[in-house]
Amino acid sequence: MARATRTTSSPSPAAPAGGAAPVIPARGLRKQYGDFHAVQGIDLEVRPGECFGLLGPNGAGKSTAMRMLAGTSQRTGGELRILGIDPEEDGPAVRARLGVVPQQDNLDEDLTARENILIYGRYFGLPYSCLRPKAEELLAFAQLTDKADAKVTDLSGGMKRRLVIARALVNEPALFLLDEPTTGLDPQARHILWDRLYRLKEHADTLQQDLARLVAEGHVTAPVTQLTRRASLEDVFLILTGRTLVD
């Protein structure tokens, strides 16, 4: 079975009593294929500003749960709301506000890195006048500016993974879902990828802080996020070989 872990920012002083409404409340979430139970009664609650993780071995049902959260797979039982919407009642409205990074890269290999972002943005109805500067911004965020005109087939695995993440941000999603985003990456690539994701969280924290300041009409201290863990062999590898990404 999968288990959950979370890291949170300090709650905003402007938040209502009891905290903000969760962006994902799920109760008894189940998925069954015939006699096979892929997901057996998951309860979870994700609040604004949280990084929430599903952990478990292969076959524990993590990807199946992610597909239900993304509104691409109907649940067998249980209750689920995404941003206040039941994904089975209005899946398009849910997906329009999501950024999804699938477990397997699904880039269009006939297009360049830039074109993958532009075409994906058109699925959300975004005009090219908005998408062109957004694509350059996302390519820079993913450290792929110098590969903007390269075909996907010419990109390394780490580059492709970063491009998938950049592409998923084109609609400025309210909720970001990542299914095993660092699978198959070397330690340096994983370090860079987590750095990019941490920057996203810092940006979200800043926006939340600015909103709280406006509501409270006063000064708000910046929230601080900390994660403490034991060192691993990967940490030793990065110390000895460096953290610079070499594609």
Which 3-state string (H, E, C) describes 114-147?
Answer: HHHHHHHHHCCCCCHHHHHHHHHHHHHHCCCHHH
- Name the CATH architecture for the domain at 98-214: 3-Layer(aba) Sandwich (3.40)
Helices marked H in 155-216: 157-168, 187-216
| The pLDDT of residue 103 | 86
Q: How far apart are CA 61 and CA 145, in angstroms?
A: 36
| The pLDDT of residue 245 | 52
Contact 156, 113 (CB under 8 A): no
E strand or H helix at 93:
helix 91-95
E strand or H helix at 64:
helix 62-69
Residue with tokens 């329009």: 96
In DSSP terms, 183 is beta-bridged to: none
The two three-digit tokens of residue 2, written as one number = 């999968």
Contact 143, 100 (CB under 8 A): no
Q: Of 45, 56, 39, which is closest to residue 2 (Cα–Cα)?
A: 56
Cα 218 to Cα 14, 20, 207, 222: the distances in Å are: 10, 20, 15, 13
Residue intervals in the chain for CATH 3.40.50.300: 22-95, 98-214
Q: Of 1, 101, 98, 15, which is closest to residue 44 (Cα–Cα)?
A: 1
Cα 169 to Cα 16, 98, 142, 232: the distances in Å are: 29, 9, 11, 31
Contact 164, 108 (CB under 8 A): no
Q: How far apart are CA 98 and CA 110, in angstroms?
A: 25
- Single-letter residue type at 13: P
The two three-digit tokens of residue 18, written as one number = 């009891």
Cα 145 to Cα 135, 150, 163, 209: the distances in Å are: 10, 10, 11, 30
Residue with tokens 């941003």: 83
| The pLDDT of residue 184 | 74
What is the full per-residue pLDDT of the chain (247 aa) written as tens digits?
555 555 444 333 333 334 578 999 999 999 999 999 999 999 999 998 888 888 888 888 999 999 999 889 999 999 999 999 999 999 999 999 999 999 888 999 999 999 999 999 999 999 999 999 999 999 998 899 999 999 999 999 889 999 999 999 999 999 999 988 887 777 877 787 788 777 777 776 665 665 556 556 654 447 444 455 566 656 665 666 665 555 5
Q: How far apart are CA 106 and CA 119, in angstroms?
A: 13
| The pLDDT of residue 17 | 36
22-95 folds as: Rossmann fold (3.40.50)
